[in-house]
Amino acid sequence: MTKQFRVLYKVTIIILAILAAMLIGSIILMTIGADVFKTYRVILFEPLKTTLQLTEVLIRAIPLTIIALGISVAYRSGIINIGGEGQMAMGILGTTAVALAFPELPKPILLPMAILAGAMAGGVWGFIPGILRAKLQVSELLSTVMLNYIAAQIYTFMLRGPFLDPAELTMGSGTPQSMRLSTGIWLNRFLKGTRLHTGIFFALFLALLIYLLLWKTNYGYKMRAAGASARAARYGGISVTWYLVIAMVISGAFAGMAGAIEIAGVHRRAIEGITGGYGFSGIVVALFGGLHPAGIIPASFFFGLLIVGADMTQRMVGVPANMVNVLQGVIILVIVATKMILADPYLMERVWRKYQGIGKKHVEVEA
């Protein structure tokens, strides 16, 4: 098998995969009678046209990066965390609780405390499925989904009850939201006229942290070993169950921090619908970014673009914003299938033989 053939084979498969994903998306778009090319153009390029839209893309990319980093830690340790949504909601509650309890504290104390509270609340929400999987073999796929629904209910309960804005009670518009949080937890918006906040540097810092953790420490090595081959890792003296739990706690803490950053930077109060699918999009970002911080950062920008772009399609081409979920679902399916195709040596061998066969026939004809 020649080297050129290997490269050609892989590139062809990746191109086919992208085409397949776009084709499936197009089928849905054609069903609703939308202009396929125009829709893709709006989703992919329209948000890049103005600075304001571009910063909105970056704002979406911040929580996506943080959640995806956590999910890739879990994924690499052999546990799939689809509970990002719930962990983020719990993180928001933790941050809000601290911000409401100590509004007078100065920023250098309150802000780290609030983010830490968010991380801890999310971490606890990740610990539950982790320990259930480690000790009782409960599938984390089901337990994290259930914890998402539970967290969503706790979240609305807190917003309607203990955290409800006192002004809402007197005014009586009935919007379930907390009061505006103390300025002590506000992240600076450093670009005038936009909402872009310093959380972006925090996200980049976390990406570096995860890179160092996974590839430069003993801990990370053991986690990756546990995920790559649980049996071999156990034989090598690594306590696989312990690292599963740790990975889930980290994963949950990251989703919690994403929530903390989101309210400290964007909303500055807890309102309904903040999580809005970030937990699920984070999975797509993590997979698309190859479960590596260096890939996750561009991937989260790309999916931030899709989310902002999909918001614009409603207005510009009449395609509902839900289209972004369709695309994300298709992208997951295509990525996991493509990964398996690329990793299948037998298939490559077969294609190679066929390729050679074609070559031989040509030779015979020429002779």
**Contact residues for other proteins, defined by CB under 8 A:** 28, 31-33, 80, 82, 132, 136-139, 141-143, 145-147, 149-150, 153-154, 156-157, 160-161, 280, 283-284, 287, 318-320, 322-333, 336-337, 339-341, 344, 346
Distances (CA, A) of 136 to 76, 128, 140, 148, 347: 21, 11, 11, 20, 38
Taking alpha carbons only, the member of 230, 203, 226 closest to residue 68 is 203
Taking alpha carbons only, the member of 94, 16, 5 closest to residue 341 is 16
- Compute the least distance from the CB of residue 255 to other proteins, in Å: 15
**Maximum CA pair distance of the chain?**
93
Angle, CA 296 vertex, CA 146 and CA 220 arms, to 5° = 75
- Compute the least distance from the CB of residue 146 to other proteins, in Å: 4
Nearer to other proteins, 252 or 265 (CB): 252
Distance, CA of 171 to CA of 312 (rounded, Å): 33
Nearer to other proteins, 82 or 120 (CB): 82
Taking alpha carbons only, the member of 90, 95, 70 closest to residue 148 is 90
Distance, CA of 193 to CA of 269 (rounded, Å): 20
- Compute the least distance from the CB of residue 170 to other proteins, in Å: 22
- Compute the least distance from the CB of residue 366 to other proteins, in Å: 34
- Compute the least distance from the CB of residue 154 to other proteins, in Å: 7
Nearer to other proteins, 54 or 67 (CB): 67
Nearer to other proteins, 137 or 170 (CB): 137
Give 66's contacts (C-beta < 8 A, 6+ positions apart). Answer: 202, 203, 206, 254, 255, 257, 258, 261
Nearer to other proteins, 123 or 199 (CB): 123
**Is 94 within 8 Å of 118 (Cβ atoms)?**
yes
Distance, CA of 244 to CA of 274 (rounded, Å): 28
- Compute the least distance from the CB of residue 63 to other proteins, in Å: 17
- Compute the least distance from the CB of residue 28 to other proteins, in Å: 6
What distance, in Å, lies between the first and last C-alpha atoms of the chain? 24
Nearer to other proteins, 254 or 280 (CB): 280
- Compute the least distance from the CB of residue 209 to other proteins, in Å: 25
Write the DSSP string, 220-241: HHHHHHHHH-HHHHHHTT--HH
Nearer to other proteins, 239 or 325 (CB): 325
**Is 250 within 8 Å of 73 (Cβ atoms)?**
yes
Nearer to other proteins, 236 or 349 (CB): 349
